[in-house]
Amino acid sequence: MTNTRDSVPMKRYSVFAVAREGLRYHTGWGRAWRSPAPKKKYDVIIVGAGGHGLATAYYLGKNYGITNVAIIEKGWLGGGNTGRNTTIIRSNYLQDPSAAIYDKALSLYESLSQDLNYNIMFSPRGLIMLAQTHHEVRGYLRTVRANELQGVATKWINAEQVKELCPIINIDGPRYPVMGGLYQERGGTARHDAVAWGYARACSDMGMDIIQKCEVTDVRRENGKVVGVSTTKGDIDCDKLGMVVAGHTSVLAEKAGFRLPIESVALQALVSEPIKPCMDVVVMANTVHGYLSQSDKGEMVIGGGTDSFNNYTQRGSFHHAEETVRALVETFPMISRLKMLRQWGGIVDMTGDRSPIISKTPVDGIFVNCGWGTGGFKAIPGSGWAMAELMAKGHSPLAEEFDMYRFREGKFIDESVAAGVAH
């Protein structure tokens, strides 16, 4: 990355640009984003250069013209949960506030490649949430009715229709036979790294500074208002501060002098060796707690559960991977012959009602976006849209119900049962 502060307009990607660069051996491509030294002061500082933080910065610039923004990242861009998930995208949630923000995210995902001029490889291949107990059947039928009222397109399909959409599935499992499924045709996947890179490229083109390898060591306040942050690259002043750091939100909030009702745990996933195409739909099996899809490279992408104890590891514990694979083998017998290619973990932040927090805080000028649990990737565009509106205008209809004070007032948005998982 170049260290110049001069903002050079980014080149548009197109078939003509690819052809032109091919003729000159790809020597004309510029850097996707700048990596400058920090300025003394910004209007807004976003802590966390993952998908949610970058999306917040992007919509601050696009929707409100706020471009004197720094996105500060302790590690490298997209190196946290954004690059450590199973890339599932859906919006078929039970509660109205959840359905609204996730469907906003899904609608933005559908045109995000065009908006960013960057191919995020969005694949609306369809998503099935398996019902393998009578309890799940009742729960998903309830969700279908709720989604109808919310204007979210989902439907119930029977076991034979599940088998037709996913031929490799065993619908007659001895412990948990497939009784049907909640199907969202618009659901699917996207390339997680590309989402972060696309937003970063667009932010940099608007003149925003993406500052990597820069850890926030303190949050500076005066008279109850934020005035800046102390970092490993020096003090940086700001008028507004957005905390978007997922599993480390409680750590950063403590530096700012307040506490949040969240806990951090490791969530892990793995991929198999690549095989020929055999599955063109995403399947979530919540009873046995595993999610399965096939990547463009042929790997079977498998998501599992969270550790049962609080931790900040990015590896996870082996017994969870073993339990997830053992459970999925019953539903997808063919994967028993595959070898694991790699495994990883992400630090997810969980709230008591398994719904996020997008909120003002006790410190004037500080806003927080956290608590997405295991469902953060699918929400990135909608989360960024709501957080940007909240920071720019002081209020956002999408974020209104996700205020941090709802726990004190008992206004929970309970998605723990509706989602069937942590979120």
Tens digit of pLDDT for each residue in 162-215? 999 999 999 998 788 999 999 999 999 999 999 999 999 999 999 999 999 999
pLDDT at 114 over 50: yes
Report yes or no: 71 and 35 within 8 Å, Cβ to Cβ: no
> Rounded distance, CA 408 to CA 164, Å?
47
pLDDT in tens, 296-343: 999 999 988 788 788 888 777 777 788 888 888 989 999 999 999 988
Residues 6+ apart with CB under 8 A from 282: 88, 125, 126, 127, 128, 187, 188, 189, 291, 292, 293
Question: Distance from CA of residue 421 to its chain's centroid?
Answer: 15
pLDDT at 423 over 50: no
pLDDT at 46 over 50: yes
3-state helix vs strand vs coil in the chain, percent to 5: 35, 25, 45
> Rounded distance, CA 135 to CA 132, Å?
8
Q: Which CATH architecture has domain 120-188+264-351?
A: 2-Layer Sandwich (3.30)
What's the mean per-residue pLDDT of the chain? Answer: 92
Identify the bridge partners of residue 282 per DSSP, sorted by sequence position: 127
Band of pLDDT at residue 1, cut at 50, 70 and 90: very low
pLDDT at 414 over 80: yes
Task: Give the relative orientation of helices 96-109 and 134-150 as an angle to the nearest 10 degrees.
Answer: 70
Identify the bridge partners of residue 302 per DSSP, sorted by sequence position: 270, 292
pLDDT at 221 over 80: yes
Return the pLDDT at 134.
Answer: 94
Task: Give the relative orientation of helices 192-205 and 376-393 as an angle to the nearest 10 degrees.
Answer: 20
Cβ atoms within 10 Å of 271's Cβ, excluding its own:
20
